A and B are shown apart, each in its own frame.
Chain A
Amino acid sequence: MNSEKVIFGFFITLAAALNFGFWTGEMDQINLHSVWELAAAIVASLIATVLKFGDRTQLGAVHLSTSLVADVQLIAGAIVWTFAATSPAGLTPTDMALIVSMSAGALLANLISVVLMISEIITARR
C-alpha cells in the first residue's frame, strides 16, 4: 500500500462526494443546499488540484484539467452565492438554481476525474 496513492484517491473521492452531497436535492429549494457543504467541496477540490500538479503524463494532464474545471465551476457558484446573499433581495430560488446547476457541472468534471482514476487502476492491474 502506498500512502501517496491513498491520499490521492481520498481527496479525489472526497471532492466528488462533497460535490454530490451539495448538488443532490431539488434545484430551487434553498434549505436543501448548505453553504458549508459548498465551501467544503471547494476546499477538497482545490487540494485535489494541487495533488495533481507536476505529472507529465497525458493522463496526468487530463486529470489536472478536470480538477481545474471543477474548481472554476464551484468558485463561480460561491461568488454567485455571496453576491446574492449580500444583495437587498437576499438569496432567491432562481439564484439557488443557478448555483446548483454550476455545481452540477463541477460534479460532471469530478466524476470524469474519478473514472480516470479507476481506469488507471484497472490498466495497472492488468
Chain B
Amino acid sequence: MNNVTFLFLRRMRLPLVLVILLYTVSVFGLAVMPGVDDAGRPTEGMGLFNAFYVISYTATTIGFGELPHPYSGVQRMWMTLSIYLTVTGWSYAVVTVVGLLQEPAFQNALRSGRYARRIRHLKEPFFIVCGVGETGTLVCHGLDRLGKQFVVIDSDAARIEQIKLENFHSDPPAVMADASQPSTLTGAGLLSKHCRGVMALAVDDNINRAIAVTARLLRPGLPVMARVGDANTDHTLGAFGGDMVTNPFERFSTYLALAVARPQRYRMGQILTGIPGDDLPELHHPPRGHWIMCGYGRFGHGVREALTKAGNEVTVIDKMHYGEEGVDIEGTGTDSTSLRKAGIERAAGIVAGNASDLKNLAIALVARDLKPDIFIVTRQNQIGNNTLFEAFGDDLCMQPSHIVAREFLALITTPLLARFRYEIRGASEKWSAELTEALSALDEGYVPQLWGISIDSEQAPAVVDAIKHENWVNIGHLLVDPYDCQRPANALVLMVSRGEGGEILPTTGYQLEVGDQLLIASSPAAGRRLRLALKNPSVLHYLRTGREGGGGWVWHQMRRAKLAWIKWRTMHHYQEH
C-alpha cells in the first residue's frame, strides 16, 4: 500500500467509527421497539436483521417505506431519530473525505505517488534534467525532438509549472525537489537500468556539483553533464566527471575565438553538436587584425585571451573593471568617444560581450554607425530578445544557453562524440572543411543525425553472426544503400572505437570486430536502413555480396542440396573419365 492509502485510512478513522456507532444505536433500538400487526394488536420488535435492513436503506436515503409491516407510533419515533442520526454521520464522513481531497498535504502525497509510479513504469531509455531555466528548457526541447524520454527536477515551483505548459510530444514527469539530495535523484530513477544520463543545469554551482558527485558514486559510468560557472569548481568536478563538465563562460569564449580564428573548424563543431534536422549553420569569414572587446567579465577574459592567441590585437573597453590589468579604455562602448579611443576606424571586428542584451545591441548599433563594414559579434543572453537580434542582423550571434544546451544534448545522447571531438581537437582548417562538406552532403542542407552503435548481439546481431562464420564485414559494406547496392548510402562512419584504440574516419576496407563501437553520421532515412542491415542477416548478406540472399529455412536447405548435387555430379563425371 502506498502513502495515499495510509493517509486516507488514518484520517477516516473517526468518521467511520462514528458511522458504526450511529448504525448500532439505530439498529438495536429499532430491533426492540414494539410494533403492531395488521389487526392493530401490539407485537414484539422486528428483530436485528429486519432492523439492519430498514436502517441500511434509510441511512443511504433510498427509503423503501415501512417494512415488513406498517410501523407503530414508537417505531416511527425511533425511525425519525435514526434518520437524523445516520444521515448526519454519513454527511460528516463525506465532508471529511472532500476536505481531505482538497488538503495540500494529501494532494502532495497523490502527486508524488503518481510521479513515482510514472518513473517506475519508464521502460525505455530516459534522461534526468535537473534545473529547467533557459538552458534546461532548451535541452528538454532538444530531447523531445530526438524522441527521448526525460524526467525534470527543479526546486522552483514556477519553473515546474512552466515546463508543464511547454509543448512536448510526450508528457515528461516533473517534480519540485532539491536535486542536490541523493533521494531526489534516486526517486527520479537514477538507479533504473533505463537511465542513460544526468544533466545538472541548476543555477547554483554547488547543486550541480552535488548532483555530479551523487551520480558518479551511485551510478559509476553513467554520463553526467554538469554546468559550472566558476573556474575553481571546474577542477574539483573534473576529478569525478572528466570532460563531461561544461563551464559556459569558458566554452563560450573558446567557441568565439574558434569562430574568429578557425571558422571552418567552428562550423564543423557546430554541425557535429547540432540538432538533427536543423538548417546547416552558415560559414562566417571573420577578419583578422585589430579587435575591440567590450565588457571584461569572466567571459571577456576568455575571449581576449583566445583572440590574442589567434594572432589578433585586442583593445578592451570596460567601465567597472577599469584599472585592472588588461583593460585599456574606460567606458561602456555604447558611446562613440570610447569606441573612437579604442581605434574603431582601423578595427576589423568588435565583440559586444556584456551580460545585458540591450547594452550589447547599443554597442553594435554605434559601431556600425561609425564603421559600416566592421565585423560584429554579439552575445545574446535572453532567448526572448531573438527578434531584436534578428532585426539588427549581426555577423555572428552567440547564445550561451544555446551553446551549453546543444553541447549537453549532443554529448549525452551520443557519448562516443566526446571521444571523437577529443581525437580531432587539433584538426586543420582544410581537414575540417572537407569533413564539413561530407557531413553537409548527407542530409542535403540539414544537420545529419549522429548516432553510436556497438557491434554486439543486441544492437547488431547480423554482423556478429557473420563475423562468427568468418564472413568479414568491412566499413565499406555499411556505406552501401541496402535498397540498391549500386548506390552509396547517405552515411559516414566517423570513428571506430576498439578498446583503447580505434580509427578516425576508417577506410572502406577496415574490418569490423565484435565489441567495436561505431560513431556514424547519416540522414534519418539512411540511419533506419543501416540499423536494419545490422540486424537482418538477409539484408547484410545483400550488402556484402550484392546478391539477394534466400529468405527462409526452406530456401537455405534447397540451395545446400543444389550445391551438394553439383559437387556429386562433378565427382561422378571425373570418375567416369
- For the complex, what is the distance from the CA of A123 to the CA of B81, rounded to whole Å? 46
Within the complex, which residue of B11, B17, B28, B48 is in contact with A51, where a contact is CB–CB below 8 Å?
A: B17
Q: How many residues of A contact B (CB 8 A)?
A: 15
Interface core residue of B10, B17, B23, B28 (most chain A CB under 10 Å): B17
- The secondary structure that dominates the B interface is helix
- For the complex, what is the distance from the CA of A86 to the CA of B20, rounded to whole Å? 25
User: What chain B residues lie within 8 Å of A56 (beta carbons)?
Assistant: 6
Taking residues whose C-beta sits less than 8 angstroms from the other chain, chain B's interface range is: 10 to 19
Which A41-72 residues sit within 8 Å CB-CB of chain B? 43, 46-47, 50-51, 53-56
User: What chain B residues lie within 8 Å of A55 (beta carbons)?
Assistant: 10
B20 and A43 form a contact (CB under 8 A): yes
Within the complex, which residue of B9, B17, B28, B48 is in contact with A54, where a contact is CB–CB below 8 Å?
A: B9
B24 and A50 form a contact (CB under 8 A): no
* Cβ distance A109 to chain B, nearest Cβ, rounded Å: 18
Q: Does A39 contact B (CB under 8 A)?
A: yes
- The secondary structure that dominates the A interface is helix
- For the complex, what is the distance from the CA of A78 to the CA of B199, rounded to whole Å? 63
- For the complex, what is the distance from the CA of A43 to the CA of B26, rounded to whole Å? 12
Q: Does A115 contact B (CB under 8 A)?
A: no
A46 and B20 form a contact (CB under 8 A): yes
- For the complex, what is the distance from the CA of A85 to the CA of B31, rounded to whole Å? 15
B48 and A53 form a contact (CB under 8 A): no
Q: Does B433 contact A (CB under 8 A)?
A: no
A54 and B20 form a contact (CB under 8 A): no
* Cβ distance B307 to chain A, nearest Cβ, rounded Å: 64
* Cβ distance A42 to chain B, nearest Cβ, rounded Å: 9
- For the complex, what is the distance from the CA of A31 to the CA of B411, rounded to whole Å? 85
- For the complex, what is the distance from the CA of A43 to the CA of B24, rounded to whole Å? 7
A39 and B10 form a contact (CB under 8 A): no
* Cβ distance A118 to chain B, nearest Cβ, rounded Å: 22
B12 and A53 form a contact (CB under 8 A): yes
User: What chain B residues lie within 8 Å of A39 (beta carbons)?
Assistant: 27-28, 48
Q: Tally of A-B residue pairs with Cβ under 8 A?
A: 39
* Cβ distance A34 to chain B, nearest Cβ, rounded Å: 11
- For the complex, what is the distance from the CA of A36 to the CA of B8, rounded to whole Å? 32
Residue of B nearest to A81 (CB): B49
Residue of B nearest to A60 (CB): B6
Q: Does B403 contact A (CB under 8 A)?
A: no
B13 and A53 form a contact (CB under 8 A): yes
A54 and B21 form a contact (CB under 8 A): no
A50 and B6 form a contact (CB under 8 A): no
User: What chain A residues lie within 8 Å of B10 (beta carbons)?
Assistant: 53-55
B6 and A85 form a contact (CB under 8 A): no
B24 and A54 form a contact (CB under 8 A): no
- For the complex, what is the distance from the CA of A50 to the CA of B9, rounded to whole Å? 8
Within the complex, which residue of A35, A47, A85 is in contact with B21, where a contact is CB–CB below 8 Å?
A: A47
Within the complex, which residue of B8, B17, B27, B49 is in contact with A82, where a contact is CB–CB below 8 Å?
A: B49
User: What chain B residues lie within 8 Å of A35 (beta carbons)?
Assistant: 48
Q: Does B7 contact A (CB under 8 A)?
A: yes
Which B346-397 residues sit within 8 Å CB-CB of chain A? none
Q: Does B435 contact A (CB under 8 A)?
A: no
* Cβ distance B166 to chain A, nearest Cβ, rounded Å: 37
Given known A39-B48, A85-B49, contact A51–B20 (CB-CB < 8 A): no
Q: Does B16 contact A (CB under 8 A)?
A: yes
Residue of A nearest to B53 (CB): A82
User: What chain B residues lie within 8 Å of A43 (beta carbons)?
Assistant: 20-21, 23-24
- For the complex, what is the distance from the CA of A83 to the CA of B281, rounded to whole Å? 85
User: What chain B residues lie within 8 Å of A85 (beta carbons)?
Assistant: 47, 49
Which B1-44 residues sit within 8 Å CB-CB of chain A? 6-13, 16-17, 20-21, 23-24, 27-28
Closest 5 CB pairs of A and B: A54-B10, A53-B9, A54-B9, A50-B16, A82-B49
Report which A residues bind B (CB closer than 8 A): 35-36, 39, 43, 46-47, 50-51, 53-56, 82, 85-86
What are 21 inter-chain pairs, A to B, with CB distance below 8 A? A39-B28, A43-B23, A43-B24, A46-B20, A47-B21, A50-B16, A50-B17, A50-B20, A51-B17, A53-B9, A53-B10, A53-B13, A54-B7, A54-B8, A54-B9, A54-B10, A54-B11, A54-B13, A85-B47, A85-B49, A86-B49
